[in-house]
A and B are shown apart, each in its own frame.
Chain A
Amino acid sequence: MDLYSKRKYLIIGLFSLTAFIITIRLFYIQVLDSSYKISAASNVLRREINYPARGVIFDRNGKLLVFNQAAYDVLITPKEMKTFDTIAFCKIVGVEKEELINEIIKAKNFSRFKPSPIIKQLSSQTFAVLQEQLFKYPGFFIQARTLRQYPSKIAAHVLGYVGEVDQKIIEGNKYYENGDYIGRSGIERAYEDELRGVKGISYKMVDVHQMVKGNFEEGRLDTAAIIGKNLVSTLNGDLQSYGERLLSGKVGSIVAIEPETGEILVLASAPTFDPGLFVGRERSRNYSKLLIDPNKPMLNRAITSSYPPGSTFKLANALIGLQDGLLQSVRYSCNGPNSSPIKCTHNHETPLGLVSAIRESCNSFFWQAFRSEINHFSNPAKGLDAFRNSLLEIGIGKKIGGDLYAETTGSVPTVSFYDKYFGSGGWNSLTIRSLSIGQGELLVTPLQLSNMVSLIANRGYYIAPHLVRSIQDYDGTQDTLKFERHNIDAGRDNYEMIVQGMEQVVEAGTARASAKIDSIIICGKTGTVQNPHGEAHSAFVAFAPKINPKIAIAVYIENGVWGARYAAPIASLIIEKYLKGKIAPSRQHFEDAMINSDLISTMKTETGD
């Protein structure tokens, strides 16, 4: 039509080119690039976690050791708040008006759209009242949380504690994420999977202000929380509590086992602490305070400290000798303090057989017994190897617990250990004679000692010592746990010989004054452990009654001077309390002496000198 009508093509071309460029771009961001979809999901989806209640722990008699106490936090979402009757509200929750207003201002400053707590840890009574009135306070809501509670404040080491997960745990286990709690030690740790339950996850859609707008996909992806299982512990709460009292003022531990089942009745370590210290806001302060305490109260000495067993080890020595058929009828002579190479401090007949030797804790006898056990083999290395294997078999020098967290192995020296020191072939039974009386390089945990007695009490087997009997599901079903049984077949008569010796220890031997109870036959063995750093340690192992034993026990008191001084009375008191229910008046003075003795402050003054 006119001169420039061709120019329409350029204009149309420009339009089309622009549309084309936009289409390419749309194709790129909508179809090719998936990052926008991910950003969109992170914009709009909020993952909410519903924490299930952690399982509670009972003692063997159904007494609560740990439970959850509900605490209630009051939260507000400032944007949803309307004016309300502050005075009435303050009256219900019991806070000052100024305090409340301060908290609300703080919450507003934090965010107008996100909830923040204004009152923490309301009791359930207050919660009940507030709950009824809550409709009057829009923007207010209540969040329940659970805190671990310890009604009797005992067994801190056994129960362990829960704490927030750290980065290492999160990286190692996909279940946990920041802010989750996990059992950090003890039963809480060993049975974490059972106790924690399964947390529920729900996906909520939120708007730009983080206000929840509804469930994502109508909640199809949500999972329900499953509450944690309850545990029935093997502990006897009363006995545990009594044990902890007897240990007061001392550094040491008590391990009592029901021999037939391997169930641990008492596992006490002193000094101890109130497990409630690890709960709540004071937690980290308490934790660091306990951490720097020179007496290391957080250390569970019963399973993590290994000591030379001293004379209590003579039982193991005897058992190995009997297994090898070396000690049944042998009689060794003893020159008392003049004995060589190990002198004997006890005054007794000579020569003497195994039963008397146990009664008198004769060093000479057990050195000679040890020599024969080692020399029974073609060379000392083979002899020690066999000796060591026998010890491992009866649960010394290895972990024996069925469900114990952080147990240590103790240590039985190996052939290569001595080869390194003395050169291969540069040593013999004489060189390593300290082993015969439980001194030297041998290290045993109190748990292992108590398990050794348990084996003798059972005359031939032990069951891995454990702390949990059964697991209760939330629907009430009980799952009784089974633990490994170890048979050490050394012949019934041989066991009876040792038992006889142990009986005489209490009847007429080294523990006659300190552990004898008229109505119960206790079989025991004292140990006085030479300690180059100070007073000797006091050790005592025992089981009772002699027939059909109900309790096997090991008590180890650091710097307790000698076995009969502290360890034996404590062990006998526990046995009496357990089997009789009360302490006979004639023995009451032992109880008082044990509870009131204070070795820790004495030690301090001594080192101060």
Chain B
Amino acid sequence: MLYLLLVILGWINIYAAVYSDEHQSILDMGQKYGKQLIWIIAAIVLAIMVFTVDSKFYAAFAYHIYGATILLLIAVLFLGKEVNGARAWFEFGNIALQPAELGKFATNLAIAKCISQFDFKIQKMRSYLILIAIIAVPALLIILQNDTGSALVFAVFVFVFYREGLNGMVLFWGFAAAALFILSLVLDEFKLLLFLLSISIAAYGVLRQSVKESLIGTLITSGILTLIWITNSSMNLGATPLQLLTITTLLIAVLFIGYGIIKHISEVWRIVLFFIFAIGISMSVNYFYKNVLASHQRDRIDQVLGIKVDKLGRGYNVNQSKIAIGSGGFIGKGFLKGTQTKFNFVPEQSTDFIFCTVGEEWGFVGSTVVLGLFLILLVRLVSLAERQRSQFSRVYGYGVACILFFHIAINISMTIGLAPVIGIPLPFFSYGGSSLWAFTIMLFIFLRFDATRTENIR
């Protein structure tokens, strides 16, 4: 019942946020407020309906639901209405539905179903590919809708897989790749190479569990670098620092591999592999960045990393959002007293940037409370998932937690400039029926499972 309380608290928060939202412009307000109230009531009705259905139903029809959702996602490509450049909406009168929201829940069901099969072993390549396919199909369809943000959510299932036995190295390499991606954007090539070199030497030391060899490695490297440097300046060869460092790196690599072969040290190969992988990633980043990403996506990343600062153009949203949240201070301006959100300075303030209202009107205290509630919800979901008897319920529970986590973390982070602007809603807060319903259904199905946790569902 704690979940119900949390959801109700969430709803009260939406209520506050949407309510103040309403007071900005007399005409729109009534409509938005009214609509959101209908969404909320409908969501409660949905939750009750979800609760009355037997939990076995969801397990039995997981693939069917998944299939139907995929069909919806395809249909929306042709029949949908375009909003803000994304063809992601079905429109019925003045009510719009976004099948991508359903996609998250349906995919979660399908994954749970798949993993809980008897013959499923995540370490097997075949099982692995099936999982990837389950995720990739809706994600690609959503990307086709031009809604990359929602598609990114699907990446979060990697945590679910990890919990179900995925090799930790996959997670590690994933993080390493992400870190490298950011580093290769922020640092220039010289610094990046230097950084990788130091990491490699340190890694060698860790793997060999020898500080001494690590130090010797550092000394040799700096020695060679200095030598080449002196050679360059004394002979006036005019090589750039990057070229010098590259030569040094190559020399060290040769020496290192030679040493490894002679001494039969197996870690050498891992280090070399890592190094090549890292160089590969960082070199492909530029290509990916310049050719694969759309310009607005590139700009949003640039803004977060501080590569470009443009407070009126691409950075306007985030800058205004930071101003709104920052101006809230410690205890906030008070209910309905927020000036920045009330007077429309923050774009999309009732949907993606709803956290601004919380930040401005309730300040640091309010923001932290909301954040805390979300964290309690997440932790609670994980522990509930852990107490499920059936693997299906557990996987599903983890899926719910991870999807919520991704939304919460990315949404709040983007409003305070920690993450690039990705158009995904804040669960239970953002205005809009589809996301509210999707999160409600997703959550309540899990609660339904929890109510019958002793049963074995698959």
Q: Which residues of A contact B (CB under 8 A)?
A: 1, 3-5, 7-8, 10-12, 14-16, 18-19, 21-23, 25-27, 29-31, 33, 35-37, 39-41, 43-44, 205-209, 213
Contacts and interface: CB of A to CB of B under 8 A. Distances in A.
Given A11-B163, A22-B418, A43 B345 contact: yes
A207 B346 CA distance: 10
Given A36-B327, A37-B326, A30 B363 contact: yes
A40 B412 contact: no
B339 A205 contact: yes
A29 B326 contact: yes
A26 B416 contact: yes
Nearest to B159: A11
B340 interface: yes
28 contacts: A4-B164, A16-B379, A19-B375, A21-B418, A22-B409, A22-B413, A26-B368, A26-B371, A29-B325, A29-B416, A30-B330, A30-B359, A30-B364, A36-B322, A36-B326, A37-B329, A39-B327, A40-B326, A43-B320, A43-B323, A43-B339, A44-B343, A44-B345, A207-B343, A207-B345, A209-B344, A213-B342, A213-B343
B383 to A, nearest CB: 8
A31 B363 CA distance: 9
B353 interface: no
B217 interface: no
Interface of B: 24, 159, 162-165, 320, 322-330, 339-340, 342-345, 359, 363-364, 367-368, 371-372, 374-375, 378-379, 382-383, 385-386, 398, 401-402, 405, 409, 412-413, 416, 418
Nearest to A30: B364
Nearest to B377: A15
Contacts of A213: 342-343
Nearest to B383: A8
Contacts of B383: 8
Contacts of B371: 19, 22-23, 26
Contact of B379 (A15, A43, A208): A15
A492 B340 CA distance: 79
A1 B386 contact: yes
Contacts of A205: 339, 343
Contacts of A14: 159
B340 to A, nearest CB: 5
A3 B364 CA distance: 40
B382 A12 contact: yes
Q: Tell which of A22, A30, A39 has the most Cβ of chain B within 10 Å.
A: A30
Nearest to A25: B416
Q: Main secondary structure on chain A at its contact with chain B?
A: helix
Given A36-B327, A40-B323, 7 more contacts: A3-B165, A7-B162, A26-B371, A30-B328, A39-B323, A207-B342, A208-B343
Contacts of B409: 18, 22
Contacts of B344: 207-209
A27 B382 contact: no
B325 A36 contact: yes
Nearest to A29: B326
Nearest to A18: B409
Contacts of B330: 30-31
B45 to A, nearest CB: 30
Contacts of A22: 371, 409, 412-413, 416, 418
Contact of A8 (B324, B368, B382): B382
B27 to A, nearest CB: 14
B122 to A, nearest CB: 10
Nearest to A41: B327
A59 B402 CA distance: 85
Q: Tell which of B323, B372, B409 has the most Cβ of chain A within 10 Å.
A: B323
Nearest to B25: A207
B371 to A, nearest CB: 6
B229 to A, nearest CB: 39
Contacts of B359: 26, 30
Contact of A44 (B322, B340, B368, B412): B340
B375 A16 contact: yes
A107 to B, nearest CB: 22
Nearest to A5: B386
A432 B165 CA distance: 115
A26 B325 contact: yes
A5 to B, nearest CB: 6
A8 B163 contact: yes
Contacts of A11: 159, 162-163, 382, 398, 401-402
A30 B24 CA distance: 23
B367 A30 contact: yes
Given A14-B159, A26-B359, A31-B330, A206 B367 contact: no
Contacts of B159: 11, 14
A30 B329 contact: yes
A432 B382 CA distance: 109
A18 B405 contact: yes
Nearest to A4: B165
